[in-house]
Chains A and B, each alone.
Chain A
């Protein structure tokens, strides 16, 4: 399939132009691909290789290095529970286990309904808010078990849970669009 529509091809050129060396657009373009598919597919990598005039293996080498690029299909929402020291001391593993149980079989890859991907996360730089949970990279501070379950329920109903500060993206693809530097507009 075509990952980069003509419009996205145009945007990709604008991203390249921001840098003295177009190869610097690699990470932003991987985010563009992820904003379309929710993950980085082989097609996406081939198109990025074409746009940057590098080999597909060079794109793959980069994509597989960074944990925020998913190499397999993800759920509509990605829930990340920080379990690093400060969060662990404040009960993060219990939050993680609660989320895992609520989401059921396969959540660490993708739930059967295609709605969720759950994973443990390393320090997210908000240790004062431990235990910290990110929903599509939006922060939820001091999450209790009850709040974790409530967040999952809200997402199931199609609502975007209100983050602790700032705004939240609609879903995981929207988060990738923002990280591509394309802003949060429709």
Chain B
């Protein structure tokens, strides 16, 4: 059975982002349908579709909406997470660029479902044009009566505010995002209480990823049973996969959950760049443990990737070929976590930085055999010892790379430098030694 694109169905159309094209192709029908239903019935439909959050954790979306406490006599909020910053991840941006109304509609349905009258979109500041483009789409939707007072001819009001971040990976973490949206430093909060009871302005809040919300209009129109017919039993529906690094055709590709990494890399991606051999790849961004060529038949759904010893994350596949150095790549991944640590937890703030120094000295030829175990030791001491998952994600590159490529680390030690780049400039040991 061939798969018909759902989330990307309009991408090939001229002016795919305009509201006219959206309305001509069934747009805002899901919202009308939702508005004709009881709110709990909307949540029930999404829950029974089995939709799981696409931001990385895979939490069931309907369940999250059920958990939003509507009995507190406080406003409720929906916050869309458009802070897409996990290295290798870029599907939210393209979903917004090419079909912003699909996302806006999903956001409106979620607001109605949890009885919210004010939604926020937290967009990373580096998405300058995508955000401007989205802002215009929201105004278009407002002009046509889908945002604001009495949406889609109903008596239900939904306000929508686009809010820009300003450069901080941590703000993709939901409680840090809320802090940032409240005008503070983006540092995570202790949980519980969870946002569904005490979120934005201490009010019950549902935080959903852009890809997740983009699925919602389709579930409303075509029903939970149709949705469940796509993908796997425990990971239903379509998924966006982002391929980058050493593939012939990097890009976003939509497929059913459970498609194999081989079909994605060799099929959609056109194979490894220059016909080289696959060396390693991340299933869902750099915070998910890397896998190797041996894992190429892994089904790319939540459970399939878990069984292979990693995580689906955001479905962001960064591909490394035989020419790429594992130590250097791991160093670069850790540089990111060192720079992006919010500084709240010692394990993350100090651990990530020291890890970059050790990786750098191994790459530059000043490493020792003990350094390899030291890396494992630091990662082991960091794991699950932070407020948020950033520190856990930061342990993935070194733990997984040593697990699969210990010999390459050892070669760096033995040859006093990078075997892939023998001519690499060796730095002054004073500069690299901690």
Contact = CB atoms under 8 A, between A and B. Distances in A.
A19, A123, A138, A175 — which one has the most chain B CB atoms within 10 A of its CB? A123
Given A62-B184, A127-B318, A130-B244, A89 B324 contact: yes
Nearest to A22: B183
A122 B340 contact: yes
B314 to A, nearest CB: 11
Contacts of A67: 166-168
B164 A179 contact: yes
A62 B126 contact: no
Given A85-B245, A123-B88, 14 more contacts: A18-B161, A66-B186, A84-B336, A85-B286, A86-B250, A89-B320, A121-B126, A123-B86, A127-B89, A127-B242, A130-B244, A166-B97, A166-B132, A167-B132
22 contacts: A20-B118, A28-B164, A31-B164, A66-B168, A66-B186, A67-B168, A84-B336, A85-B245, A85-B329, A85-B332, A123-B88, A124-B126, A125-B93, A127-B89, A130-B245, A134-B126, A138-B129, A166-B129, A166-B132, A169-B128, A178-B131, A179-B128
Nearest to B86: A123
B378 interface: no
A141 B67 CA distance: 42
Interface of A: 18-21, 23-28, 30-31, 52, 61-62, 65-69, 83-86, 88-90, 121-130, 134, 136-139, 163, 165-169, 175, 178-181, 183-184
A178 B132 contact: yes
A129 B182 CA distance: 33
Nearest to A87: B244
Given A66-B168, A122-B336, A126-B93, A27 B318 contact: no
Pairs A-B, 5 closest by C-beta atoms: A26-B183, A166-B129, A127-B244, A67-B167, A66-B166
B126 A166 contact: no
Contacts of B169: 122-123
Nearest to B127: A125
A93 to B, nearest CB: 10
Contacts of B128: 136-138, 169, 175, 178-179
Contact of B185 (A61, A166, A180, A184): A61
B201 interface: yes
Nearest to A20: B201
Given A19-B161, A31-B164, A68 B125 contact: yes
Contacts of A23: 182-184
Given A20-B118, A66-B165, A127-B318, A163 B87 contact: no
Contacts, number: 168
B250 A62 contact: no
A122 B245 CA distance: 15
Contact of B164 (A126, A130, A139, A181): A181
Given A90-B245, A122-B339, A128 B252 contact: yes
A128 B182 contact: no
B8 to A, nearest CB: 14
B85 interface: yes
B250 A130 contact: yes
B207 interface: no
